């Protein structure tokens, strides 16, 4: 909350600084180029210019408020509403400038003629259009800067995540258990099963070592790799490990960060399947809803075993690793939630943008 407040305060300070600089510049330009050179009473002219600049700043703020609402619309909508906002603001400003000018110099209230209004309106419209252009320029510049910062942050975070991922890709316990299982099969002279397990392990390690934390792969490819991992573990656990996946056809080509699901499934095997004599089931589901990709990894193990929804001891490393990667890649456009299953079990729910190859991001 403190970080959010600091960012909000910084943005507010920059906004008011920009307004102050813009209208101070406007005031000084008119003062030295128009007010001082012309042969008119100085005090009324100066008072009029101060009022003109003050209302101009208020209208500029109004344009900003309108801009914050229309900037997310389509190009046509932005152009139409932007032109309308600028036109109305310029009209109000023109009327005000004319009426106050006449009043300060002649002491009467008088509306401008159509010709006078048109001549003054051109200048007002030009200034208000410049204000709108300035807002758009500042907005897209800050967007580019923010995206660049996010890319740099993702690159830096990915290096740390890559080190963490190596722990999962070449997990000593996983490797030791797998090699022991292969040795046992060889001693039992079950060479066919042992060779099959070696092939699966080879494919798994090849995929793991070739994958970077920054890579994105199609969901069906990630599921195929996950099934290689589960196949290796099934050789160890036999009938104690059951695995099911339901992937909607429309999201099979959606891209997700590589090796995203394996740490979650490994957690489920370690903490939901291994401790139970009768084993259990791991279920992976993926579907699209409201333009987002939903991925759910669940098991029927002991669950959180906590009244305050804290992560059980040991599970936090894999989940933090996953959350760090999602944060680095998607910024604030993701969700990772943990909850107990009903009647028993543990659920990890991930929601990310649905990016499908060959289609516009939803």
Render pLDDT for 223-269 as a digit per residue (tens, 0 to 9).
Answer: 998 998 898 888 888 889 999 999 999 999 999 988 889 889 988 88
Q: Mean of the per-residue pLDDT values for the chain?
A: 82
How far, in Å, CA of 157 to CA of 328, rounded? 6
Q: Own/partner pairs for 37-45, CB < 8 Å, 24+ apart?
A: 40/105, 41/105, 44/104, 44/105, 45/104, 45/105
How far, in Å, CA of 321 to CA of 162, rounded? 9
Q: Which of 147, 65, 149, 58 is nearest to 96 (CA)?
A: 58
Out of 203-212, 267-276, 283-292, give the one with best mean pLDDT: 283-292
According to the model, what pLDDT value does residue 232 have?
A: 86
- Position 8 confidence tier, pLDDT thresholds 50, 70, 90: very low
Average pLDDT of the residues in 22-50: 86
- Position 175 confidence tier, pLDDT thresholds 50, 70, 90: confident
Buried b (16+ CB within 10 A) or exposed e, 16-28: eeebeebbeebbe
Reduced 3-state DSSP string for 48-81: HHHHHHHHHHHHHHHHHHHHHHHCCCCHHHHHHH
CB 288 within 8 Å of CB 251: yes
Q: Which of 224, 359, 347, 337 is nearest to 291 (CA)?
A: 359
Query: Quick count: other Cβ atoms within 10 Å of Cβ 272?
Result: 25
Burial category of 58 from C-beta neighbours within 10 Å (exposed 0-12, middle 13-18, buried 19 and up): middle
According to the model, what pLDDT value does residue 219 have?
A: 94
Beta strands at 255-257 and 280-289: parallel, antiparallel or unpaired: unpaired
Q: Does residue 2 carry a pLDDT above 90?
A: no
According to the model, what pLDDT value does residue 284 have?
A: 96
The percent of residues in the chain predicted with pLDDT above 70, rounded, is 85
Average pLDDT of the residues in 154-158: 70
169, two tokens: 């890709």
CB 270 within 8 Å of CB 308: no
CATH number among 3.60.10.10, 3.40.50.2000, 3.30.565.10, 3.40.50.920, domain 170-353: 3.30.565.10
**First-last CA distance in the chain:** 29
Among 5-19, 39-53, 227-241, 262-276, the minimum mean pLDDT is found in 5-19
Q: Does residue 279 carry a pLDDT above 90?
A: no
According to the model, what pLDDT value does residue 13 have?
A: 75
According to the model, what pLDDT value does residue 143 have?
A: 79
- Position 163 confidence tier, pLDDT thresholds 50, 70, 90: very low
- Position 358 confidence tier, pLDDT thresholds 50, 70, 90: low
Domain boundaries, the chain: 2-148, 170-353
Q: Which residues pair with 343 in a beta bridge?
A: none
């Amino acid at each position: 909350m403190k970080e959010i407040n600091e960012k909000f305060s910084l943005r507010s300070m920059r906004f008011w600084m920009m307004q102050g600089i813009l209208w101070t510049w406007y005031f000084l330009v008119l003062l030295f180029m128009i007010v001082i050179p012309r042969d008119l009473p100085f005090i009324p002219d100066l008072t009029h210019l101060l009022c003109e600049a003050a209302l101009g700043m208020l209208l500029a703020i109004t344009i900003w408020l309108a801009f914050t609402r229309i900037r997310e619309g389509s190009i046509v909508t932005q152009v139409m509403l932007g032109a309308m906002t600028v036109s109305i603001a310029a009209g109000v400003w023109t009327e005000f400038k004319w009426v106050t000018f006449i009043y300060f110099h002649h002491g009467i209230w008088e509306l401008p003629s159509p010709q006078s209004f048109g001549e003054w309106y051109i200048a007002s419209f030009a200034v208000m259009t410049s204000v709108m252009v300035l807002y758009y320029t500042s907005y897209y510049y800050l967007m580019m800067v923010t995206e660049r910062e996010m890319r740099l942050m993702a690159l830096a975070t990915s290096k740390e995540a890559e080190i963490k991922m190596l722990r999962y890709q070449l997990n000593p316990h996983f490797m030791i258990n797998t090699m022991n299982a292969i040795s046992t099969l060889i001693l039992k002279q079950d060479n066919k099963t042992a060779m099959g397990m070696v092939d699966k392990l080879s494919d798994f390690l090849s995929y793991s070592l070739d994958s970077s934390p920054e890579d994105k792969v199609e969901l069906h490819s990630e599921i195929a790799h996950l099934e290689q991992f589960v196949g290796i573990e099934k050789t160890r656990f036999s009938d104690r490990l059951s695995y099911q996946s339901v992937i909607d056809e429309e999201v099979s080509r959606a891209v997700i960060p590589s090796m995203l699901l394996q740490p979650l499934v490994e957690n489920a095997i370690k903490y939901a399947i291994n401790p139970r004599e009768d084993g259990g089931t791991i279920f992976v589901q993926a579907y699209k809803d409201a333009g987002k990709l939903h991925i759910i990894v669940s098991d029927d193990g002991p669950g959180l075993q906590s009244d305050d929804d804290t992560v059980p001891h040991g599970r936090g490393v894999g989940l933090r690793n996953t959350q760090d990667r999602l944060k680095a890649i998607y910024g604030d456009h993701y969700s990772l939630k943990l909850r107990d299953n009903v009647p028993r079990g543990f659920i990890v729910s991930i929601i990310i943008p649905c990016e499908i190859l060959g289609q516009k991001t939803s």
